[in-house]
Chains A and B, each alone.
Chain A
Amino acid sequence: MYTLTNVTKTYTQSKRNVTALNNVTLDIPDGQLVAIQGPTGGGKSTLLQMLGALDRPTSGTVQLESSSLSGLGDAKLTAIRATEIGFVFQGFNLIPTLTAQENVETALAPLKVTAAERKRRAAEALASVGLADRGNHLPSELSGGQQQRVAIARALVKDPDVLLADEPTGNLDEETRDEIMDLLEGLWRDRGLTLIIVTHDSAVAKRAQRRLHIKHGQVKDVA
Chain B
Amino acid sequence: MFGTYLRRELVNRRKQTIIIAVGMALAIALVIIVNSVSSGVKDAQASVLQAVYGVGTDITVTQPATAETASAQQGPGGGRRFDFGAGAGTDTGAGRTVNTSRLEPTRGATVMDSTALTTVTKVPNVSAAAAVLSLTNTSFSGTLPNFQQRGEGGRGQGGTSSAPPTGGADGAGGSSFTVDSFSVIGLDPAGKSVGPLSSVTLSGGRAFSSADKGKDVVVLDAAYAKTQSKAVGDTVTIGGTEFTVVGIVAATGSDSTTAANAYIPLDVAQKLSAQTDKISSVYVTAKSSNDIAQIKADLTKALPTATVSTQADLASTVSGSLGTAGDLIANLGTWLSIIVLAAAFLIAILFTISGVTRRTREFGTLKAIGWSNRRIVGQVAGESVVQGVIGGVIGIAVGLIGVLVVNLVAPTLSGGVGNGFADAAGRVGREATGGSTAAPGGAGTGSGFGGAGGFGGGGGRFEAAGRTAASTTDIVLHAPVTVWVILIAVGLAVLGGLVAGAIGGWRASRLRPAAALRSVA
The interface of chain A, by Cβ under 8 A from chain B, is: 45, 49, 52, 54-55, 74-75, 78-79, 81-83, 86-87, 89-91, 93, 95-98, 102, 105-111, 115, 118, 154-155, 158, 166
Most buried by A among B8, B9, B369, B520: B369
**Are A97 and B368 in contact, with the CB atoms below 8 A?**
no
Question: Contact: A109 with B375, CB < 8 Å?
Answer: yes
Cα–Cα distance between A95 and B8 once the two chains are bound (Å):
10
Evaluate contact between A78 and B512: CB separation under 8 angstroms.
no
The residue in A55, A78, A107, A108 that gathers the most chain B C-beta atoms within 10 A of its C-beta is A78
CB pair B517–A98 under 8 Å, yes or no, is no
- A118 engages B370 (CB within 8 Å): no
A44 CB to closest chain B CB, in angstroms? 10
- Write out, one digit per residue, whether chain B residues 370-381 have a CB within 8 A of any chain A CB (1) or not (0): 111101000000
Considering only CB atoms, which chain B residue lies closest to A56 in the complex? Answer: B514
Closest to B369 in A: A107
Query: Which residues, 323 to 364 on B, are CB-close (under 8 Å) to A?
Result: 361-362, 364
How many residues of chain B get a CB closer than 8 Å to chain A's CBs? Answer: 28
Chain B residues with Cβ under 8 A from A89's Cβ? Answer: 365, 517
CA distance A98 to B365 in the complex (A): 14
B514 to A87, Cβ gap below 8 A? no
In the complex, are the beta carbons of A97 and B8 less than 8 A apart? yes
Whether the pair B372, A75 counts as a contact (CB closer than 8 A) is yes
**Chain A residue contacts of B367, Cβ below 8 A:** 78, 81
Q: What would be 8 A-B contacts, judged by CB atoms less than 8 Å apart?
A: A45-B518, A54-B512, A54-B514, A82-B371, A95-B366, A96-B12, A98-B8, A109-B371
- Given A93-B361, A110-B375, 20 more pairs with CB closer than 8 A: A45-B518, A45-B521, A52-B368, A54-B368, A54-B512, A55-B512, A78-B372, A79-B370, A81-B367, A95-B365, A97-B13, A98-B8, A102-B5, A105-B4, A106-B371, A107-B369, A107-B370, A110-B370, A118-B1, A158-B370
Q: Which residues of B contact A45 (CB under 8 A)?
A: 518, 521
B372 engages A110 (CB within 8 Å) = yes
A154 adjacent to B513 (CB under 8 Å): no
Beta-carbon nearest neighbor of B365 in chain A: A93
Whether A106 lies near B366 (C-beta < 8 A) is yes
Which residues on the A side are within 8 Å of B366 (C-beta)? 95, 106
| Shortest Cβ gap from A51 to chain B (Å) | 12
Closest 10 CB pairs of A and B: A82-B370, A97-B12, A93-B365, A54-B514, A109-B1, A55-B514, A97-B8, A110-B370, A81-B370, A49-B514
Query: For A79, what are the chain B residues with a Cβ–Cβ distance below 8 Å?
Result: 370
Q: Which residues of A contact B12 (CB under 8 A)?
A: 96-97
Residues B368 and A87 in contact, CB atoms below 8 Å apart:
yes
CA–CA, A108 and B369, complex, Å: 9
Query: Which of A49, A83, A105, A155: most chain B CB closer than 10 A?
Result: A49
Closest to A52 in B: B368
Residue pair B369, A91 in contact (C-beta under 8 Å): no
Q: List the A side residues contacting B373 at CB < 8 Å.
A: 74, 78
User: Using Cβ atoms and an 8 Å threshold, which residues of chain B touch A155?
Assistant: 369
Contact of B4 among A102, A107, A154, A158 (CB under 8 A): A102
Partner of B371, one of A91, A105, A110: A110
- Asked if A95 and B362 sit within 8 Å, CB to CB, the answer is yes
Q: How far is the CB of B509 from chain A (nearest CB, A)?
A: 10
What residues of chain B lie closer than 8 Å to A49, measured between beta carbons?
514, 517-518
Known: A82-B369, A95-B362, A106-B369. A90 touches B512 (CB 8 A): no
For B361, the closest partner residue in chain A by CB is: A93
Query: B4–A54 contact, CB under 8 A?
Result: no
The one of A78, A82, A97 that contacts B9, using a Cβ cutoff of 8 Å: A97
Contacting residues, chain A, for B518 (C-beta < 8 A)? 45, 49
Contact indicator per residue, chain B 485-510, by CB within 8 Å of chain A (1) or not (0)? 00000000000000000000000000
